[in-house]
Amino acid sequence: MGQKILVTGGAGYIGATAVRLLLKHGHEVTALDNLSQGHREAVPDRARLVLTDLSNREALGTLFRESKFDAVMHFAASALVGESMQLPEKYFRNNVTNSLNLLECCAANKVSRFVFSSTAATFGDPQTSLIDENSPKNPLNPYGESKLQVEAMLHWFQKIHGVRYAVLRFFNVAGAWDGHGEHHDPESHLIPIVLKVAQGKRESVSVFGSDYPTPDGTCVRDYVHIYDLAVAHLLVLDALKERDALAYNLGNGNGFSVREVIEASRKVTGRPIPTVESPRRPGDPPVLVASSAKISKELGWKPRYDKLEEIIQTAWDWHQKYPNGYEGKKE
């Protein structure tokens, strides 16, 4: 039987994917978004779109009282590491204070399940190349710190108000699924930037540092396909019927270097994709890869898209079909 689910950031890249998957599983979905980063066209017609901001406590309270949600999936956040180092106040206000507004509504309206889209940036610069759930948390930027503070709030809201929660931490999300792809402005993620070069919309892609202690000298990162990430969110939503608190890392377990991503993109697109060697960026660890062993063992999560070229192919297909992204695209 379908449930009433609120998805915050439901017009964004990850949130709109979760909306699609929830609808396919027969749930009644409300997507909440202020469209500061999301796209109205990304929300399927069968979902209800509410245009408001989590800072609007009055509108939020009214929405919760009238809708009687069974659960909340919380994706809405500011998520640019570099910007967070310039505007920490924006990140603590949007990611922490607004999450508190949302949690207060859950507690007041007896919404007992809360799935939080966190980040592996909570771990900072890890001491091991494969990060599991027990790795020490030491954020290096206000973005990671803001997400960690929400995790702390969830712990206490569960203890005191009975709000069951799941935390999912991941690094890089990529790919496209069900007619939905990645469209950010400005774009800061490697795969869409590389594909913009392939499209002829950028002249080259910068490789920041080629002297790292990795097999080819460039940084190694984790990539999870957008569909597989959404599946994990639905799995923990279901698991919260029995469990009070869950926390999982999501990753491919291998990691791919910047050069490997560029080379795979050349194969997929058949385009040359010129690169420019650039200096290292401050704070970039050589290797960041998350271990998904725990969620695989406990909930049976297994990525459908586990090959880099396969992930890039889905993104390239979407960018080819919608060269301008959501500008002018209609569902």
Provide the pLDDT for residue 331: 41
The candidate with the shortest Cα–Cα distance to 104, out of 33, 48, 49, 54, is 54
Domain-embedded: residue 312: yes
Q: Which residues are catalytic?
A: 143
Q: Are residues 106 and 14 both part of a single domain?
A: yes
Q: Are residues 127 and 162 both part of a single domain?
A: yes
Q: Are residues 164 and 214 both part of a single domain?
A: no
Between strands 130-131 and 287-290, the pairing is parallel
Q: Are residues 138 and 197 both part of a single domain?
A: no
Q: Are residues 315 and 201 both part of a single domain?
A: yes
Two tokens, residue 206: 């910068």
Q: Which domain holds residue 238?
A: 4-174+223-250
Q: Are residues 86 and 140 both part of a single domain?
A: yes
Domain-embedded: residue 184: no
Q: Are residues 234 and 90 both part of a single domain?
A: yes
Domain-embedded: residue 181: no
CA atoms within 13 A on the CB side of 116: 30
Domain-embedded: residue 197: yes
User: What angle (nearest 5°) sits at the alpha carbon of residue 89, between those of residues 73 and 246?
Assistant: 30
For the chain, residues with pLDDT lower than 70 are 283, 328-331
Provide the pLDDT for residue 328: 53
- In this structure, are residues 217 and 211 in contact, taking their beta carbons and an 8 Å threshold? yes
Q: Are residues 207 and 312 both part of a single domain?
A: yes
Please identify which residue in the block is written with the tokens 């490697």. 190
- In this structure, are residues 178 and 20 in contact, taking their beta carbons and an 8 Å threshold? yes
Domain-embedded: residue 275: yes
- In this structure, are residues 73 and 115 in contact, taking their beta carbons and an 8 Å threshold? yes
Domain-embedded: residue 183: no
- In this structure, are residues 179 and 261 in contact, taking their beta carbons and an 8 Å threshold? no
Domain-embedded: residue 145: yes
Please tell me the distance from the alpha carbon of residue 178 to that of residue 166, in angstroms, as a whole number.
25
Please tell me the distance from the alpha carbon of residue 266 to that of residue 268, in angstroms, as a whole number.
6
Provide the pLDDT for residue 330: 47
Q: Are residues 166 and 230 both part of a single domain?
A: yes
Prediction pTM value: 0.94
Q: Are residues 210 and 170 both part of a single domain?
A: no
Q: Which H or E run includes 220?
A: strand 220-221
DSSP 243: -
Domain boundary residue among 203, 233, 250? 250
Q: Collapsing DSSP states into helix, strand and coil, what is residue 250?
A: strand
CATH number at residue 198: 3.90.25.10
CA dihedral angle for residue 56, residue 62, residue 67, residue 69, rounded to 10 degrees: 60
pLDDT tens digits along 244-257: 999 999 988 888 99
CATH number at residue 17: 3.40.50.720
- Work out how many domains the chain is built from and give that number: 2
Q: Are residues 119 and 228 both part of a single domain?
A: yes
DSSP 211: -
Q: Are residues 122 and 202 both part of a single domain?
A: no
Domain boundary residue among 250, 268, 300? 250
Please tell me the distance from the alpha carbon of residue 195 to that of residue 74, in angstroms, as a whole number.
29
User: What angle (nearest 5°) sits at the alpha carbon of residue 131, between those of residues 13 and 85?
Assistant: 55
Domain-embedded: residue 168: yes
